[in-house]
Structure 1
Amino acid sequence: MFKGLGGLGGIGDMAKMMQAAKDMQSKMAELQEELARTVVIGEAGAGLVKARATAKGEVTGLDIDPSILVPSEKEVIEDLILAAIRDAQSRAVARSQQEMQRLMAEMGLPPDMKLPF
Structure 2
Amino acid sequence: MLKGLGGLGDMAKMMKAAQEMQGKMAQLQVDLANITVEGESGAGLVKATATAKGTLTGLDIDPSIFNSDDKEVVEDLILAAIKDAQEKALERTKEETRKLTEEMGLPAGMDLPV
What TM-score do the two structures reach when normalised by structure 1? 0.90
> RMSD in angstroms over aligned alpha carbons?
0.9
User: Corresponding residue for 1:64?
Assistant: 61
Aligned residue identity for 2:51? T
CA shift digits 1:71-90 (9 cap, x unpaired): 11110000000000000000
1:37 to 34, 40, 59: 34
Q: What are structure 2's unaligned runs of at least 5 residues?
A: 1-5
**Aligned: 1:101 with 2:98:** yes
What TM-score do the two structures reach when normalised by structure 2? 0.92
Contact 2:52–2:93 (CA under 8 A) maintained in structure 1: yes
For 2:37 and 2:112, how far apart are their aligned partners in 1? 23
Aligned residue identity for 2:56? V
- For residues 85-100 of structure 1, the aligned pairs below 5 Å read 85-100=82-97
Contact 2:97–2:112 (CA under 8 A) maintained in structure 1: no
What is the count of residue pairs matched by the alignment? 109
For 1:115 and 1:31, how far apart are their aligned partners in 2? 11
For 1:38 and 1:103, how far apart are their aligned partners in 2? 15
Q: What are structure 1's unaligned runs of at least 5 residues?
A: 1-8
For 2:51 and 2:44, how far apart are their aligned partners in 1? 19
Superposition misfits of 4+ residues, deviation over 6 angstroms:
none
